[in-house]
Amino acid sequence: MTTEGRGQGLHEKVLESLGPAITGGGYPPGSVLRTDELAQRFEVSRTVIREAVRVLESMHLVESRRRVGVTVRPTEAWNVYDPQVIRWRLAGADRARQLRSLTVLRSAVEPVAAGLAAHHATPAQCAELTEQALGMVATSRGHQLEAYLVHDVAFHRVVLQASGNEMFARLGDVVAEVLTGRTRHRVMFDDPDPAAVTLHVQVAEAVRERDAARAEMLTREIAVGALHELDVLVP
């Protein structure tokens, strides 16, 4: 491995420790982190620490000041749409509140996106929606949650992209992290809700048939069901 490659791996290792510690409250807002102390703690160079800090700054988790150090910013300043920030927060103790907040966001956006997709989806996107919905059906039994997740993420990405709205499309990574976190952290039943699986198939049909009202209504039912699952599994 090259020196550059080793540095890349080291700064990622530092990130994977500092990021969850900050988002999980281990370093409350206002905490000051010293570069020298971090370098000693992680047994890496100050260059590696500075690279990790630059990434954290890009997420608005920290800010660096000369003669002060690296200060953890208030939660309100964080880029809460950053997929890695979402991943770290879902891995922490505040997972339940995060899941609910993100699921409410989905319920506000995805039904509208599905209605728009019925107007704007290309034939290729319609075919992709159907393919992913059928993939969800095929993996919805027998505790195949990881395989199901692949189709579920792809389905919702297509809906957002097919909406024709660039803002909605950019939320694809956010939704992917929500669905992945829900699965990886066992915030699901052993098998997906059969009714939800059927609704995905019906959304694909509604989009293909250019029925915007039905696509929006069905997607809203999916969102309501996801919120209900949280009520049951993560009260």
What pLDDT sits at residue 4? 44
Q: By C-alpha distance, which of 170, 167, 128 is closest to 151? A: 128
Mean of the per-residue pLDDT values of the chain: 91
CATH code for the structural domain at 3-77: 1.10.10.10
CATH class name, domain 83-233: mainly alpha
| pLDDT tens by residue, 5-54 | 444 588 888 999 999 999 999 999 999 999 899 899 999 999 999 999 99
For the chain, the domains span 3-77, 83-233
Q: By C-alpha distance, which of 55, 44, 50, 51 is closest to 19? A: 55
Question: Residue holding tokens 């953890």?
Answer: 72
3-state helix, strand, coil in the chain (%, to 5): 70, 5, 25
| 3-77 and 83-233: identical CATH topology | no
Tokens (6 digits) for 175: 């939704």
What pLDDT sits at residue 88? 94
The reported pTM is 0.88
| pLDDT tens by residue, 103-153 | 999 999 999 999 999 999 999 999 999 999 999 999 999 999 999 999 999
- Percent pLDDT > 70 in the chain is 95
With a cut of 50, say whether residue 3 has pLDDT above it.
no
What pLDDT sits at residue 184? 84
CA dihedral 74, 78, 80, 82 (to 10 degrees): -150
